[in-house]
Amino acid sequence: MIWYLALILATGAERVVELVVSNRHARWAFARGGVEYGRGHFGSMVLLHTGLLLACLVEVQLLDRPFIPVVGWTALLVVLASQGLRWWCIASLGERWNVRVIVVPGLPLVATGPYRWLRHPNYLAVVAEGVALPLVHSAWITAIAFTVLNAILLLRFRIPTEQRALAAALAEPVFESAAPGPRA
């Protein structure tokens, strides 16, 4: 359990690093006329992602979840791969990446890195990690609950907000499909 606690704390520390990078990038975007969208759902996202980390620990401790090697090691590999994808997204978007929806009007869509193939590759990383991180130590209730709540939040609020923001910034029609394609 100690190593799992260390993994969860390391994931939390990584989130703090993301927030530092995000805040720097948000200042960059606002200095260039960036417009923020979707402030109403941002608190829910923070609560859900913080809850994921806490729920992983609570479920493992309270329900005495075992470490099942074949599941745990596979899930850990997925967690590490999702972190790699997340940072590839951040590197590909550069100063345009942040955890909020801030779009600088007039900038072209990013079509490099994972954005060559997927419209929302960071959300693939979020979904994969949200399933895998709890399953590293058999916290299957947390994996299911996070997946369902995250799907609602992403599909109902976050992705449509990003699509509207990009459409407004680019003066293009909103893309409602989840089809692959470049995005900012």
Q: What is the pLDDT of residues 62-120, one digit of tens each?
A: 999 999 999 999 999 999 999 999 999 999 999 999 999 999 988 888 999 999 999 88
Instruction: Looking at the structure, give the CATH architecture of the domain made up of residues 2-170.
Output: Up-down Bundle (1.20)
- The answer to whether the beta carbons of residues 95 and 145 sit under 8 Å apart is no
Cα angle 142-143-147, degrees, rounded to a multiple of 5? 110
Radius of gyration of the chain (CA): 17
The rounded distance, in Å, linking the Cα atoms of 75 and 86 is 16
pLDDT of residue 21: 97
pLDDT above 50: residue 174: no
pLDDT of residue 171: 67
DSSP string across 61-107: HHTTPPP-HHHHHHHHHHHHHHHHHHHHHHHHHGGG--SSEEE-TTP
Taking residue 18's Cβ as centre, other Cβ atoms within 10 Å add up to 16
Per-residue pLDDT tens over the stretch 105-154? 888 889 999 999 998 899 999 999 999 999 999 999 999 999 999 999 99
For the chain, give every domain's residue range.
2-170
